[in-house]
């Protein structure tokens, strides 16, 4: 398959003629999709503080079955009209990730993670960005937190990684993300700020490239990654500029929620809008949403939850009014994602017909947990690649890695073990390869 770097150069050079269709062309589709169908895009929604199975499993369901004639629990009631697209999975584990307060990179990496510990390998979202149809921005991560945290740290890396010791940053300030994606087609202050930042990044790249030449060889490699980061930013800006007419059809309207938010959820909402626009425009094929940014923090005052941060994890989630509000807010976001993608035709169906949404927690079932149970909800069947409209109870002997192997397999990249050695597999996995229970 054509390399990403060559592909992006080609896209930038031919953008003026290439984007007459509503969406960016899927250059890598033929090579990356499984013959029986599979996702063109995948969304990971990671809620912090754990995902108690009682907040998603219908009352009385203890074994595999259809969701058609059952009522969804109150926390996820917004998904009731979409039950035929929903697959609730209980009984995966993440014992080997040692989650404690959070598994951090281990949640999407399927390996041991901890606070302040760098990733030991790439995460599933990044791996999918390499095999799904090529896009201008292969992978977009957005992080939602308290207003104080999002302003103090507009970018943070706790969930996604492109390799060992190579974290991927989440965008938490929607103004900065808007400038990055749509600054080149904006007017007024947004355009001025975009041009100023672009000029600064160009100069930093030039200085960094020149200064690094005098370093010892071992340091040059590390320094090279730093320089590459600025090259990637500047290259993305150039490529987005090449498709400006196309992007104007998808750029969200900037309102007071960006510059004068009343609550942190105002920023959460517009960050979601930006993620949706990036998917619908074809800028990206993988979106990772970190509610709580992979940490133990987070705030939802905008939905009437005064408690925030670490204390939320010490509350039992089932029948808890606070957690009902948080999970309902999440569910409304999931509905918005589905409705927005459903509104865009794609092939003989819609974008949602070729999308998989994975909703879970970066911390298994609870804030303080061994990781013995890691509930997951899937939304979408990707043209029939995944089973949907059902509940599956597993025996607790297969790890989250098996779920990630399943998604990779459906995306056209067969995978027996994801980030697990044979020794680790023998200890923590009773099987090998994808989960036959979730693939159609």
pLDDT digits (tens, 9 = 90+) for 19-48: 333 334 333 333 334 334 689 999 999 999
Instruction: Find out whether 28 and 133 touch, Cβ atoms under 8 Å.
Output: yes
Distance CA 9, CA 369 (A): 46
Angle at 161 between CA 158 and CA 162, to 5 degrees: 165
Identify whether 179 is part of a domain.
no
Residue 139 has pLDDT above 60, yes or no: yes
Q: Which of 33-37, 160-164, 323-327 has the lowest mean pLDDT?
A: 33-37
Q: Which of 98-102, 122-126, 141-145, 429-433 has the lowest mean pLDDT?
A: 98-102
Tell me the two tokens of residue 413: 């990249």
Identify whether 231 is part of a domain.
no
Tell me the two tokens of residue 428: 């923590």
Burial profile 141-180: b = 16 or more Cβ within 10 angstroms, e = fewer: bbbbbbbebbeeebbbbbbbbbeeeebbbbbbbbbebbbb
Strands 349-350 and 345-346: antiparallel
Burial of 59 (0-12, 13-18, 19+ CB in 10 A): exposed
Q: Which of 42-46, 114-118, 322-326 has the lowest mean pLDDT?
A: 114-118
Identify whether 280 is part of a domain.
yes
Count of C-beta atoms within a 10 Å radius of residue 418: 25
Please, what is the average pLDDT of the chain? 85
CA 227 from centre of chain: 25
Residue 370 has pLDDT above 50, yes or no: yes
The mean per-residue pLDDT over the stretch 374-390 comes to 96
As for how many domains the chain has, the answer is: 1
Identify whether 423 is part of a domain.
yes
Identify whether 194 is part of a domain.
no
Burial of 211 (0-12, 13-18, 19+ CB in 10 A): exposed
Residue 87 has pLDDT above 90, yes or no: yes
Cα torsion angle, 17, 20, 25, 30, sign: negative
Helices 188-211 & 174-182 angle (0-180, nearest 10): 80
Cα torsion angle, 3, 5, 6, 7, sign: positive
Q: Alpha helix (H) ranges present in 133-263?
A: 147-152, 174-182, 188-211, 217-241, 244-247, 256-259
Angle at 140 between CA 380 and CA 40, to 5 degrees: 35
pLDDT of residue 32: 36
Identify whether 204 is part of a domain.
no
Angle at 175 between CA 249 and CA 257, to 5 degrees: 85
Distance CA 3, CA 275 (A): 25
**Could you tell me what percent of the chain has a pLDDT over 70?**
79
The length of the chain in residues reads 440
The mean per-residue pLDDT over the stretch 337-346 comes to 96
pLDDT of residue 100: 82
Residue 230 has pLDDT above 70, yes or no: no
Helices 4-18 & 217-241 angle (0-180, nearest 10): 20
Which distant-in-sequence residues (6+ apart) come within 8 Å of 232 by Cβ? none
CATH number of domain containing 316: 3.40.720
pLDDT confidence tier of residue 408, bands split at 50, 70 and 90:
very high
Which distant-in-sequence residues (6+ apart) come within 8 Å of 74 by Cβ? 324, 328
- Contacts by 424-432, CB closer than 8 A, 24 or more apart: 424/96, 427/96, 428/93, 428/95, 428/96, 428/399, 429/397, 429/398, 429/399, 429/401, 429/402, 430/395, 430/397, 430/398, 431/397, 431/398, 431/402
Residue 11 has pLDDT above 50, yes or no: no
Domain containing 364 equals 27-168+262-428
Strands of 376-379's sheet, edge to edge? Answer: 65-66, 390-399, 86-93, 376-379, 355-361, 41-47, 286-291, 140-144, 166-171, 155-163
Identify whether 10 is part of a domain.
no
Residue 148 has pLDDT above 70, yes or no: yes
Identify whether 219 is part of a domain.
no
pLDDT of residue 248: 87
Supply the pTM of this predicted model: 0.86
Tell me the two tokens of residue 298: 């987070």
């Amino acid at each position: 398959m054509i390399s990403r770097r060559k592909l992006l150069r080609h896209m930038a050079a031919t953008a003026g003629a290439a984007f007459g269709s509503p969406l960016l062309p899927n250059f890598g589709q033929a090579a990356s999709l499984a013959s029986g169908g599979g996702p063109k895009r995948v969304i990971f929604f990671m809620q912090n503080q754990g995902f108690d199975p009682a907040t998603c499993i219908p009352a009385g369901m203890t074994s595999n079955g259809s969701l058609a004639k059952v009522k969804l629990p109150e926390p996820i009631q917004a998904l009731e009209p979409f039950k035929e697209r929903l697959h609730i999975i209980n009984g995966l584990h993440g014992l080997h990730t040692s989650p404690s307060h959070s598994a951090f990179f281990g949640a999407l990496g399927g390996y041991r993670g901890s606070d302040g510990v760098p990733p030991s390998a790439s995460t599933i979202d990044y791996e999918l960005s390499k095999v799904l149809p090529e896009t201008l921005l292969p992978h977009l991560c957005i992080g939602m937190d308290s207003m104080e945290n999002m302003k103090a740290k507009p970018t943070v890396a706790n969930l996604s990684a492109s390799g060992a010791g190579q974290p991927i940053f989440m965008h938490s300030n929607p103004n900065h993300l808007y400038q990055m994606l749509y600054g080149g087609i904006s007017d007024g202050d947004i355009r001025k700020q975009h041009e100023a930042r672009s000029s600064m990044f160009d100069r930093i790249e030039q200085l960094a490239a020149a200064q690094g030449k005098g370093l010892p060889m071992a340091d040059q490699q590390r320094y090279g990654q730093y320089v590459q980061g600025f090259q990637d930013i500047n290259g993305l800006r150039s490529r987005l500029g090449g498709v400006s007419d196309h992007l104007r059809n998808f750029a969200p309207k900037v309102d007071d929620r960006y510059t004068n938010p009343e609550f942190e959820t105002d920023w959460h909402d517009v960050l979601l809008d930006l993620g949706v626009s990036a998917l619908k425009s074809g800028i990206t094929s993988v979106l990772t949403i970190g509610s709580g940014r992979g940490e133990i923090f987070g705030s939802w005052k905008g939905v009437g939850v005064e408690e925030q941060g670490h204390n939320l994890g010490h509350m039992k989630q089932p029948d808890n009014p606070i957690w009902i509000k948080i999970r309902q807010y999440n569910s409304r976001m999931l509905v918005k994602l589905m409705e927005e993608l459903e509104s865009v035709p794609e092939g003989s169906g819609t974008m949602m017909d070729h999308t998989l949404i994975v909703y879970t927690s970066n911390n298994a079932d609870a804030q303080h947990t061994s990781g013995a149970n890691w509930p997951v909800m899937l939304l979408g069947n990707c043209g029939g690649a995944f089973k949907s409209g059902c509940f599956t109870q597993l025996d607790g002997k297969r790890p989250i890695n098996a779920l990630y192997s399943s998604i990779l397999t459906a995306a056209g990249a067969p995978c027996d073990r994801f980030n697990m050695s044979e020794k680790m597999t023998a200890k923590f996995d009773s099987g090998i390869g994808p989960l036959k229970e979730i693939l159609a």
